[in-house]
């Protein structure tokens, strides 16, 4: 899946939140060395999953917020001392940490290993080890696709071609969408009307003289709709790259 790095996801946050999230990433990675890491900008999550599927094979996710970082466990059956885990216990359970907290490394590793075991069992009884691409992107609220491109221009220049409506129509003409929120040099929040869905568009610096655009299009009702949006965004971003080149 095309996307961004954990460092890019964390860049807008306070340095203390960034350090905390990356420390948690390191602990989880050591406890689950075979897990694959995927960054989801739309959910603001660094996700760990076993090879074979991000749904049944999901292990845990690190989700930063303004004043804390959540560590979510995808399998509610994980067991911890009473009062340690938050959540109803029916779907997700979580640990919440604030900058300055002493991390319970032993507890975190134990919970991660439990979640790995549950994920392994779920995959073993869940059919093919490698689901087809569109099914791999199926979530409880619909399908999700993503696309990204790195452009040889500054973040400011890319923003001028993406954020203003008039400029955007040069590479994304007449889209069936409503912009809910536009933040220059950062993001667009979009309601997509046909097929219905939500789009999160992110802009990031990508080194000297380069910038990156990432599209996260979710809540698409059908597999066919998701594949159509994947192709549409790929072509649109190719037009943007050509325009900026």
**Segment 130-172, tens digit of pLDDT:** 333 434 455 445 788 889 999 999 999 999 999 999 999 999 9
d(C-alpha 117, C-alpha 60), whole Å: 12
Mean pLDDT for the stretch of residues 18-37: 95
d(C-alpha 85, C-alpha 74), whole Å: 13
pLDDT tens string 110-140: 999 998 888 888 777 653 333 334 344 554 4
Contact (CB, 8 A) for 86 and 49: no
pLDDT of residue 125: 67
Mean pLDDT for the stretch of residues 21-48: 92
Contact (CB, 8 A) for 213 and 201: yes
pTM of the predicted model as reported, rounded to 2 decimal places = 0.56
Helices (H) and strands (E) in the chain, counts: 7, 11
pLDDT of residue 94: 86
Spatial CA neighbour of 58 closest among 88, 78, 42, 83: 78
Q: Is the pLDDT of residue 182 over 50?
A: yes
Residue 140 exposed, middle or buried by CB count within 10 Å (0-12, 13-18, 19+): exposed
Q: Is the pLDDT of residue 10 over 60?
A: yes
Spatial CA neighbour of 208 closest among 160, 153, 245: 153
Q: What percent of the chain has pLDDT over 90?
A: 53
| N-terminal to C-terminal alpha carbon distance within the chain | 24
Residue with tokens 């003409």: 173
Minimum mean pLDDT range among 171-175, 216-220, 227-231? 216-220
pLDDT of residue 131: 35
Q: How many CB atoms lie within 10 A of CB 225?
A: 18
For 83: left if phi > 0, alpha if psi spans -120 to 50, otherwise beta; the answer is left
* Secondary structure (3-state) at 146: strand
């Amino acid at each position: 899946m095309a996307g961004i790095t954990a460092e890019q996801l964390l860049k807008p946050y306070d340095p203390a939140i960034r350090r905390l999230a990356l420390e948690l990433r390191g602990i989880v990675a050591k406890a689950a060395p075979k897990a694959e890491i995927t960054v989801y900008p739309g959910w603001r999550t660094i996700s760990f999953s076993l090879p074979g599927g991000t749904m049944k094979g999901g292990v845990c996710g690190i989700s930063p917020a303004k004043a804390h970082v959540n560590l979510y466990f995808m399998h509610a059956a994980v067991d911890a001392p009473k009062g340690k885990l938050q959540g109803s216990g029916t779907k997700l359970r979580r640990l919440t940490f604030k900058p300055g907290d002493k991390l319970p490394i032993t507890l975190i590793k134990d919970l991660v290993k439990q979640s790995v075991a549950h994920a392994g069992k779920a995959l073993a009884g869940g059919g093919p080890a490698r689901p087809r691409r569109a099914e791999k992107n199926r979530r409880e609220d619909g399908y999700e696709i993503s696309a990204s491109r790195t452009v040889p221009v500054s973040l400011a220049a890319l923003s001028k071609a993406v954020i203003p409506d008039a400029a955007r129509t040069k590479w994304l003409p007449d889209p069936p969408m409503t912009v809910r929120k536009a933040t220059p040099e950062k993001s667009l929040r979009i309601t997509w009307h046909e097929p219905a869905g939500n789009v999160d568009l992110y802009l990031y610096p990508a080194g000297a003289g380069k910038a990156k655009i990432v599209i996260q299009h979710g809540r698409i009702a059908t597999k066919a709709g998701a594949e159509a949006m994947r192709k549409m965004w790929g072509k649109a971003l190719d037009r943007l790259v050509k325009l900026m080149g």
